[in-house]
Chains A and B, each alone.
Chain A
Amino acid sequence: MEVFLQQLINGITLGSIYGLIAIGYTMVFGIIGMVNFAHGDVFMVAAFVALVAFLILTTWLGVSSIAVALFIVLIVAMLFTSLVNWIIERLAYRPLRGSFRLAPLISAIGMSIFLSNFVQVSQGPRNKAIPPMVQGDFVLLTHNDYAVTLSFKQLIIWGVTAVLLACFWYLVARTRLGRAQRACEQDQKMAALVGVNVDQTISMTFVIAAGLAAVAGTMYLMYYGVVSFADGFVPGVKAFTAAVLGGIGSLPGAVIGGLLIGLIETMWSAYFSIDYKDVAAFSVLAITLIFLPQGLFGRPDVEKV
């Protein structure tokens, strides 16, 4: 029971990170129908930017308040990652819009390879570890010498995720941009005819997706304290699994899917086999797509004859 409770806490934390990345997949898929393969690597780039920003703040500028440092790191990572994703969309995806369907997918795979190797070449292949940013925890309950704890790190992740999701939800549901986005999802041509700037809306989608991935990247760095150039692929695929599980195109689905994947992974590791934890995630992906392709919250795809 205690183990289960602890794993629940860990799983929700991990799931929050997956959920934030998953939104990026689901938004981009919703609007241009493309699996943005490079999104996991955008997340990894964000973690590196957060790392650099954190080191500048702490080792050069001597910022001692972790709260201030974390806040600035978050903002810097979001701004920079948004810029990166905006440029990627302009250079690698926009020229391919409306062309051969496989072309953007290959372009995205190429971009994914490029990004991870760019970071490898520019920052070196080794794992980058930093001393723990935030320490300490609450002990929730103790039983038979097993303490169920909620660390401050986890609390920060929960808090930041919740606040950002609220902002994000407001952006999509209540603003002009959100309306334009939903219009483009339905029918880009019609949206353009009624005066929506489709190019700009798609660009903004990538910017927002990157912003959320940057939050995920910063949280990842803070949580694990280590990041490497190869850390984009597997979280990326898992976040994509989350998006599919929730029903691709559905924003609440992405968050809930993220939480589910996080929980499945931690529970699997705790109760079955840690070696096969990725198999659990990939199997969920395959099973969902085969038996429930529309996901938990997606619209069913009816075959037209």
Chain B
Amino acid sequence: MREGAAPGRIDTVAALRDAAITTLLAFGLFLPLIGFQTVVNIRNELVLDTRWPLLFGIVAAVGVTRLAYSFLFVPWLERFKERPMAVTPPVWLGLIRDWFTPFAIGFVIVYPVIVIATSGWGGALKWVDNFGIQILIYVMLGWGLNIVVGLAGLLDLGYVAFYAVGAYSYALLAKEFGFSFWILLPLAGVMSSFWGILLGFPVLRLRGDYLAIVTLAFGEIIRIVLINWVDLTNGYAGISGIPRPSFFGLPFDASDEGFAATFGLEFSPIYRTIFLYYLILALAFLTAFVTVRLRRLPVGRAWEALREDEIACRSLGINTTNTKLTAFAIGAMFAGFAGSFFAARQGFISPESFTFLESATILAIVVLGGMGSQIGVAVAAVVMIGGTEIMRELEFLKYIFGPSFDPTQYRMLLFGFAMVTIMVLRPRGLVSTRTPSVFLKERKAIPADMVKEGHG
């Protein structure tokens, strides 16, 4: 709808013109890369194919969407605006706000039971592993990075490096020395936070995007070293046969000393998966618990103060160098825990798992969730990771688009698209308010426009 048109009335000519322009632009945009496809022919030469039906289909879809936007969405928005705003939020909203966290915690605790009850022992494996464990790893990483980015306001694009340090520490030490998971878990955390301090030290003076780019560079350097230091890391081929964690000394295998035999159960791989699920759940809860505690401690308040105004912090006698380093170190430590869990769960790691895309994904989860908000980050992880995982399950699409259609191909495409869309719609993330760490009379949420995003 164009400016100047009476509210509630649709300017048909303008809407049609907008749709025509959009269609034209879409045609121009999609012509080279969708209209034509480069394929290798039988003589191994690169030749062109055309996909006119697909091109016109997409262009038409764009045009129709634009029309629908003008004729349906805009009037609906107008009506929505005209409706008097409710002064007090509805009761159910308050109920959701109060009960969401306990409900969510309860749900993740009983999740494996629900899944087994609904899809049986065989079907449950996928749901606990691909969804439960996978999402929880990202929840934990998101919470860890949240300390650095959300609380301390330090933009870190190389977070995956610490995840990699944790994973390789576990893999190498477990294979070389045969230490158990429970010894190596804290050790991996220590190694990672050591690297966090090491890499954090030179970049302390940097601010904003510069910090982001240097951390990205460090992340890439560590990955390239992992690829090329073949003697230690076995390069691209990665490390396989990493020892799996045991249940307090009982391995999850079919032997007589195994977990299943000891408890008189029939051997099944699901026991290990369920154990791993609760393990990562406990680690994630530990991260959340420590973060909540830290926010109420002087160090946590100093992080947030640093995000708000670094110079004011210095004028209050806060050693900003140490404060930043603790944020890096603690954030990295949780990445190290997650990394060693990852190595133990997969039994195989390679540099492929620690690309920049992973860092970007974790950062996206933090920002999309709303910086500083634990619940927001968890929800964002469920939406983004769960959303892309669910693409694997959409078999029915094959009936619509034909048997050659592979929905998993579109996972990252949609992931990128979702990142842009969520940012445009909610630039401050899903949960944008800040909860004060302490209060005299009542805890009032602080609106997003007050809260600073940090300089670095």
Contact = CB atoms under 8 A, between A and B. Distances in A.
Whether the complex brings A and B within 8 Å at their CB atoms is answered yes
A122 B213 contact: no
Contacts of A145: none
A275 B228 contact: yes
Interface stretch (A10-18, A52-60, A158-166, A187-195): A52-60
Given A83-B25, A103-B423, A35 B33 contact: no
B7 interface: no
Contacts of A271: none
B46 A130 contact: yes
Contacts of A282: 217-218, 220-221, 224
Interface stretch (B241-249, B330-338, B411-419): B411-419
Nearest to B228: A275
Interface stretch (A63-71, A105-113, A262-270): A105-113
A103 B367 contact: yes
A177 interface: no
Nearest to A98: B427
Interface string A18-60: 0000000000010000110000000001001101110110011
A97 to B, nearest CB: 10
B141 interface: no
Interface in A261-305: 273, 275-276, 278-279, 282-283, 285-286, 289-290, 293, 303, 305
B202 interface: yes
> Which of B39, B206, B311, B423 counts the most A-chain CB atoms under 10 A from its CB?
B423
Contacts of A283: 217, 221
B147 interface: no
A84 interface: yes
B423 A96 contact: yes
Contacts of B103: none
Interface residues of A, number: 69
Interface stretch (B128-136, B260-268, B357-365): B357-365
B269 interface: no
Contacts of A118: 33, 413
Interface stretch (A87-95, A168-176, A178-186, A198-206): A87-95
A241 B206 CA distance: 15
B367 A102 contact: yes
Contact of B213 (A102, A112, A129, A240): A240
Contact of B423 (A59, A83, A106, A293): A106
B419 A107 contact: yes
Nearest to B356: A233
A110 B29 contact: no
Report, as a range, how many residues of chain B touch the other chain.
35 or more
A109 B424 contact: no
Given A111-B420, A128-B38, A100 B46 contact: no
A56 B412 CA distance: 29
B123 interface: no
A95 B425 CA distance: 9
A255 interface: no
Contacts of A119: 33
Nearest to A291: B202
Contact of B412 (A35, A113, A130): A113
A32 B103 CA distance: 43
A221 B38 CA distance: 14
Interface in B407-446: 409-410, 412-413, 415-420, 423-424, 427-428
A108 to B, nearest CB: 9
Interface string B32-46: 111011111000011
Interface string B333-369: 0000000000000000000000011001001100110
Interface in B203-233: 203, 205-206, 208-210, 212-214, 216-218, 220-221, 224-225, 227-228
Contacts of B48: 52, 55-56, 59-60
B28 interface: yes
B416 A92 contact: no
Contacts of B228: 273, 275-276
29 contacts: A29-B209, A48-B32, A49-B32, A55-B48, A56-B48, A80-B32, A83-B28, A95-B424, A96-B423, A100-B427, A103-B428, A109-B363, A109-B364, A109-B419, A110-B415, A113-B412, A113-B416, A114-B413, A119-B33, A120-B413, A128-B38, A237-B217, A273-B228, A278-B224, A286-B218, A289-B206, A290-B203, A290-B206, A305-B311
